């Protein structure tokens, strides 16, 4: 690790904990939130890491986050629950909800929690992976700020609505799929726009529904498209998939859905019409031995992973298992340290100064 | 209906019932299978209808179908089960498995069945929609004959692995998504090949992993690609999604998975290596009132459907809800009758003649 250009993960973890404590969170809550932030950075998903400190500060300043929430079950059956997140920081509501899904699964064979009145939960894989140590298959989904137009529509109706699934294996590392139901994540548009670059066709449409290569088109009435890109390539399938996520996370939980989902950015207003409470998530855990002895399943999963990893590669390519890239990043960045873009360091420093806490800016 | 060019659905239903009875199925089983065949035709998914009569006949002739199966639960918990289909006609194993998922859901809040030792189950939406009358959200998945290469691979490792989800509404018709995890269904390649047409890029790759527009490329070592089409457009997401279907249907059930899934065509051999029993499915049912009073959910779902249906259309386009097209086809074809391609009529007639049962060929 080069401490003049990279952060020790422990330093950032401590900073994020102090930041949320300073906002008023109990230490235990602040640590839980910080763990998700640092995991996102370590898994090399910086769009869900330190860049969100400023967003959380501004939401807190605007009175749009409840720092002392009463996260509680409001409806339940042996294998299911609805959790009201009480407008908590999303990571807290999500963590508690996934814990409940796992507890339910111990008894019923599977456990399902629909969560309302929550906020941005960072990376879904964090919660899905909580199931692994319990020999369960974990699932996490969330809806989000509407950006995506249904097929044949030009109106932003769906979030990028990611799905994360984690499956335990034996000798092999686990399978961890975590993907938005769009061709790309929103963040990639911003990066291209800042660089003044065009984007490939198949990511966005203009206000008339025509394909566009302009990364700024959302500012001019455009929209992102569902996974598949266009109808000949199956965007109606991505639309159905993103809709299923919205229904499970938003409709079934009593949260907002579709165009009513409140944005987790303080400079964007909450929609005037609300059809539920806050943002919605959905969590699940299937207990492996409710289907098959866990050891046998893990051997089968080892074989699945081996067979797929060894499938014939295209010339010069390497076949990967979902989760490989993030797991390798986690090992590497834990050693090498975490880079934070200078602009993000500056934002975090400004926030830290306002709150009267220390944040060290590195050489760039 | 013009009885000289179109079949009365009741006639085809009666024929399919007689056909399976003639193979040796009890009448009750034959009727259950026929209901799925006719539903596929009525929903205008003929690739899953009468064209499969000849396939089933040939599998039966080859001794690859068990006509008097003992479909049974081999492992269970309050909310889960593994079902051994005993090599039954897939529709029977699937129907019974979904019944069990619904029964489990009544008690546990959700019910999940992983099914092994089964065969091609036709349309997943048939089983997912069984949940609707119980005020449940239904889910059905299956693995299948390997056709799809993982990202960066050129080897056919995954089936088109469809996912079907049905969600009840109140005044609105239900939401029914049913889609393969590939840009297109396999059948479309065959249609293009027969017409001598090229296909759009983004459906298949050649044996070296290069994009191809040749619908016959699978015969020359090519493969289909996952939903997304290529990496820039998110094919790693389609690969993860198709893999999740394979893991739930194949690994968790004790069926075959990935490249080991036996083809449901008698002229294709069963792979030498088998890692489980037959083909695998996965079924689920979430009981709505395990989360929220069913009437309230249905009102919310009505609103979801209305808001999405009325989202701003692209010029000259109409915004649809998943399931609209198939539901409208079902109403229309029930009145107008069902067209069956002359070549398929001929195949069915040949099979009927061999079995000594009547099948009426229409004018073409």
Q: What is the pLDDT along chain B (364 residues), one digit of tens a residue?
A: 788 899 999 999 999 999 999 999 999 999 999 999 999 999 999 989 999 999 999 999 999 999 999 999 999 999 999 999 999 999 999 999 999 999 999 999 999 999 999 999 999 999 999 999 999 999 999 999 999 999 999 999 999 999 999 999 999 999 999 999 999 988 888 888 888 899 999 999 999 999 999 999 999 999 999 999 999 999 999 999 999 999 999 999 999 999 999 998 888 899 999 999 999 999 999 999 999 999 999 999 999 999 999 999 999 999 999 999 999 999 999 999 999 999 999 999 999 999 999 999 997 6
Q: Which residue of A has its CA nearest to B162?
A: A237
The per-residue pLDDT for B363 is 76
Put simply, the chain B residues between 1 and 60 with a CB less than 8 A from any chain A CB are none
Cβ of B153 within 8 Å of Cβ of A313? The answer is yes
- ∠ CA A101-A106-A112 to the nearest 5 degrees? 25
Cβ of B80 within 8 Å of Cβ of A110? The answer is yes
Q: Which residue of B has its CA nearest to A301?
A: B251
Q: Which residue of A has its CA nearest to B111?
A: A110
Provide the shortest C-alpha distance from residue A309 to chain B (in Å).
Answer: 9
Predicted ipTM beyond 0.90: yes
Helices (H), B129-286: 186-195, 235-246
The per-residue pLDDT for A1 is 75
CA atoms of A358 and A28, how far apart (whole Å) = 20
Provide the shortest C-alpha distance from residue A278 to chain B (in Å).
Answer: 15
User: CA dist B277 to A284, B252, B261, B262, Å?
Assistant: 27, 12, 9, 9
Provide the shortest C-alpha distance from residue B16 to chain A (in Å).
Answer: 31
Structure token pair of residue B219: 């015969």
Which among A150, A183, A318 has CB closest to B234?
Answer: A183
The per-residue pLDDT for A186 is 84
Cβ of A232 within 8 Å of Cβ of B257? The answer is no
Does the CB of B241 have a partner CB in chain A at under 8 Å?
A: yes
Put simply, the chain B residues between 141 and 180 with a CB less than 8 A from any chain A CB are 149-155, 157, 163, 165, 167, 175, 177, 179-180
User: How far does Cα A202 stand from its chain's mean position?
Assistant: 23
pTM comes to 0.98
Cβ neighbors of A244 (< 8 A, separation 6 or more) are B165, B167, B177
Q: Which residue of B has its CA nearest to A313?
A: B153
Q: Which residue of B has its CA nearest to A104?
A: B108
Put simply, the chain B residues between 320 and 349 with a CB less than 8 A from any chain A CB are 320, 322
The per-residue pLDDT for B183 is 96
- Find where tokens 């198949």 sit: A202
- Nearest in space to A79 (alpha carbons), one of A292, A294, A285, A289: A285
CA torsion B119-B121-B124-B125 (nearest 10°) is -170
pLDDT digits (tens, 9 = 90+) for B269-287: 999 999 999 999 999 999 9
Does the CB of B310 have a partner CB in chain A at under 8 Å?
A: no
Helices (H), chain B: 9-23, 27-42, 51-61, 90-108, 124-128, 186-195, 235-246, 294-309, 324-336, 342-355
User: How far does Cα A36 stand from its chain's mean position?
Assistant: 10
- Strand A211-212, strand A204-205: pairing: antiparallel
The per-residue pLDDT for A194 is 82
User: How far does Cα A347 stand from its chain's mean position?
Assistant: 22
Cβ of B276 within 8 Å of Cβ of A300? The answer is yes
Provide the shortest C-alpha distance from residue B18 to chain A (in Å).
Answer: 36
DSSP state at residue A269: P
User: CA dist A92 to A86, A98, A101, A247, B167, Å?
Assistant: 10, 10, 14, 22, 29
Angle between helices B342-355 and B51-61 (to 10 degrees): 30
Which among B110, B238, B304 has CB closest to A79?
Answer: B110
Cβ of B311 within 8 Å of Cβ of A153? The answer is yes
Cβ(B196)–Cβ(B210) under 8 Å? no
The per-residue pLDDT for A364 is 65
- Nearest in space to B211 (alpha carbons), one of B193, B220, B197, B223: B223
pLDDT digits (tens, 9 = 90+) for B30-68: 999 999 999 999 999 998 999 999 999 999 999 999 999
DSSP3 helix / strand / coil % (chain B, rounded to 5): 45, 15, 40
- Nearest in space to A116 (alpha carbons), one of A158, A160, A156, A69: A69
Q: Which residue of A has its CA nearest to B209?
A: A314
Cβ of A153 within 8 Å of Cβ of B317? The answer is yes
Does the CB of A77 have a partner CB in chain B at under 8 Å?
A: yes
Cβ neighbors of B15 (< 8 A, separation 6 or more) are B348, B352, B357, B358, B359
CB atoms within 10 A of CB B142: 31
What is the set of domains in chain A, with CATH numbers? 9-65+336-355 (1.10.1530.10), 72-290 (3.30.1370.60)
Query: What residues in chain A have per-residue pLDDT under 70?
Result: 364
For chain B, what's the residue count? 364
pLDDT digits (tens, 9 = 90+) for A60-96: 999 999 999 999 999 999 999 999 999 999 999 999 9
């Amino acid at each position: 690790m080069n401490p003049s250009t990279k952060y020790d993960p422990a330093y950032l973890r401590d900073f994020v904990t102090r930041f949320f404590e300073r906002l008023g969170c109990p230490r235990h809550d602040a640590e839980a939130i910080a763990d998700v932030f640092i995991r996102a950075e370590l898994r090399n998903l910086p769009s869900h890491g330190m860049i969100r400190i400023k967003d959380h500060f501004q939401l807190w300043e605007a009175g749009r986050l409840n720092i002392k929430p009463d996260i509680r079950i409001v409806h339940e059956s042996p294998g299911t629950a609805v959790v009201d997140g009480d407008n908590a920081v999303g990571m807290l509501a999500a963590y508690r909800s996934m814990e409940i899904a796992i507890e339910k699964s111990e008894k019923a064979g599977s456990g399902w929690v629909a969560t309302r009145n929550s906020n941005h939960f960072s990376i879904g894989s964090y919660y899905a992976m909580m199931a692994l140590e319990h020999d369960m298959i974990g699932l996490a989904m969330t809806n989000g700020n509407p950006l995506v137009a249904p097929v044949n529509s030009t109106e932003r109706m769906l979030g990028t609505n990611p799905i994360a699934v984690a499956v335990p294996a034996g000798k092999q590392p686990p399978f961890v799929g975590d993907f938005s139901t769009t061709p790309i994540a929103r963040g990639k548009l911003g990066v291209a726009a800042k660089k003044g670059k065009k984007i490939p066709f198949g990511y966005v449409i203009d206000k008339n529904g025509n394909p566009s290569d302009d990364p700024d088109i959302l500012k001019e009435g455009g929209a992102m498209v569902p996974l598949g890109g266009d109808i000949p390539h199956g965007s109606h399938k991505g639309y159905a998939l993103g809709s299923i996520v919205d229904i499970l996370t938003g409709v079934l939980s009593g949260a907002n859905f579709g165009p009513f989902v409140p944005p987790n950015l303080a400079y964007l207003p909450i929609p005037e019409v609300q059809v539920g409470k806050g943002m919605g998530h959905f969590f699940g855990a299937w207990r492996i031995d409710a289907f098959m002895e866990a050891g046998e399943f893990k051997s089968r999963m080892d074989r699945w992973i081996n067979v797929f990893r060894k499938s014939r590669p295209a010339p010069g390519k390497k076949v990967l298992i979902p989760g490989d890239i993030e797991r390798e990043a986690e090992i590497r960045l834990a050693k090498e340290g975490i880079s934070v873009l200078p602009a993000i360091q500056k934002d975090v420093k400004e926030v830290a100064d306002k709150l009267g806490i220390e944040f060290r800016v590195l050489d760039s």
